[in-house]
Amino acid sequence: MYIAFGHCTFKCDAENGENLCQNCKLVAEPDIEVSKETLIERYLSNPITSAIVLAGLEPLDDFTELFAFVDCARRQYHITDPIIIYTGYTEEECMNGQFSNRELRIDKTFAEEWKLLLKYGVIVKYGRFRPNQEPHFDEVLGVCLVSDNQYAKEYLP
């Protein structure tokens, strides 16, 4: 089950010096608010789903909602299936609480909450989109990622 988040700072485009984001038009679409419980119940009632993917625009730019969803799925609904987070942030930025909302800043609370989130057992795809690179196969995800700096890491509970 793919769940899209509605915000992004477009850090990839800023660093690439051009607007290349395949999701850029989504930011102009209306938000559709669905409770975490409703999403989880839809997931559980679908016989063909076996993982939850939390992705673009940028789930970490809606970290409070992301954390609440994972917490609810793991603790309230006891879902043990993979939960995969696709982020354009780097592992270092996440671990150190560094993230860009137009300017680089450090948030120690974010770093602490990020480390708590990882203890729920998630898979994280790290790294910004970089144009003109050769796709490579990622063993953790079992898919090709388009930029050399992108990789996934599994965190066990």
Q: What is the three-state SS of the chain?
A: CEEECCCCCCHHHHHHCCCCCCCHHHHHCCCCCCCHHHHHHHHHHCCCCCCEEEECCCHHHHHHHHHHHHHHHHHHCCCCCCEEEECCCCHHHHHHCEEECCCEEECHHHHHHHHHHHCCCCEEEECCCCCCCCCEEECCCCEEECCCCCEEEECCC
**Span of 19-28, 33-42, 74-83, 90-99 with lowest mean pLDDT:** 19-28
pLDDT for residue 90 is more than 50: yes
Whole-structure pTM value: 0.90
- Number of domains forming the structure of the chain: 1
Q: What percent of the chain has pLDDT above 70?
A: 91
Domain with 88, as residue range(s), is 2-154
